[in-house]
Each structure stands twice: as structure tokens, then as C-alpha cells.
Amino acid sequence: MNWRNKALSAALPVLMVIFIMATPSRKEYTIQNLEARAAAGECNPHLIDPDKLAFELMNNYYQYNVIDVRSPEEYEAFHIATAINIPLYDLHNPAYRELLNQRILTNVFYGSTPEQAKKACLIARYHGNETSLALNVTAEKFKDTFYGNIEIPDDPTKEEQTLALFRRHAAEKMKEIENNLASREKPVKKKITRVQGGCS
């Protein structure tokens, strides 16, 4: 074997590693494709505002699949009642296709920005769902709207008073729903009782 063949043999593994590293994975390719489609203006889902979402959760939460696309840490710090957490970078996974295409449930996405929620709707379309909704405000804004300091201004209009009272009631109701759902998920502890009596 001459020196050229030896050099080629030595360089071939290195070139293979570089090629593999430079070639995008299926996940990266999918994300790049979706990013391009979003940049091209395809990311125009139907939007839902905080008050409408709160009203629906208060009255029809079982009809909605609320999905938080932020990080697990952000989700744990605060999440909207009934929401599950699927980070945006994981949402493309085919394992979520069945979840996103449940016939009786409407998906509602929200994130750190409204753009995250819109991109999530685009990914849902990639999975075959065309009816998802995107919250038009951030998770933080939703939190402030219902769990912040809700004040009724002096000499309020009827609309201002009604809205403030609705948001206070909605916050209480959403907490109640979240607590009820959490209690259902906990295993029921069996109470052990001692048998009294017996032969003396």
C-alpha cells in the first residue's frame, strides 16, 4: 500500500464523521422545514384570547387539549389549568400524533411567546390536525390577567366591573378544576382497620 492509499484510509473515517455531523437529523430537518414555512407566512392559525380560554375551561374544559410548549421548568413554575407539557422542540415527534388528533378535543397551544403557540399549530398541521388554536398572549400575560392584582377602578363602567368580577371568578374556578384533577390522579390510600374482638 503506497502512501496515498494510507493517507486516504486514515482520512476516510474522519471524513465520514464530518459528513454525519454536517447532515441534519430527521428532527432537525423537520424543524428547519417548519421554521421556513412559518417564515413564509404559513403560520396563521386561529387565535383564542385569555378571557375566551378561561370561559371555556370554566365550562367545557373536557373539550380542550391545552398544551404548554415551554420548557418543563417553566411549566412547573406556572401552567394554565388542565394543561399538559410538550416542549416545542419535542412536539414534532410522531409519538404525539394520536394525542394531537383526538376527534373530540380541540388543541389549544400556548408558550413563552405567541409565536411559539403559532408554530405549535403549524406542527400540529404537520401531524394532520387543522383545527388547533393558539393563545394570543404569553403564559406570563395569562397568569397576570387572572392571578395578578385584579382591581376594579373607581367609578367603573359596567363593562369594567363585569370583566374584573369575571376574571376573579375565573381564577378561583380554574384553581378548583386544577385541584380536582390533581386529586383524581393521586392514588387512593386504603385505610387499614384492625379487627376487634375474637376468642377470649
Q: Region 96-102: what's the mean pLDDT?
A: 95
Does this model's pTM top 0.85? My answer is no
Q: Region 160-185: what's the mean pLDDT?
A: 93
Q: How many other C-beta atoms are found inside a 10 Å radius of the C-beta of residue 87?
A: 16
Predicted confidence (pLDDT) at residue 176 exceeds the cutoff of 50: yes
**Domains in the chain, please, with CATH?**
3-38 (no CATH), 43-184 (3.40.250.10)
77 vs 19: CA distance, rounded Å: 41
56 vs 50: CA distance, rounded Å: 10
Q: What is the predicted pLDDT for the residue at 128? A: 92
User: What pLDDT, in 10s, does the model give residues 8-46?
Assistant: 566 556 555 454 555 555 555 455 555 555 545 555 689
Q: What is the mean pLDDT of the chain?
A: 83
Laid out side by side, the sheet with 64-68 consists of 46-48, 133-135, 106-110, 64-68, 84-85
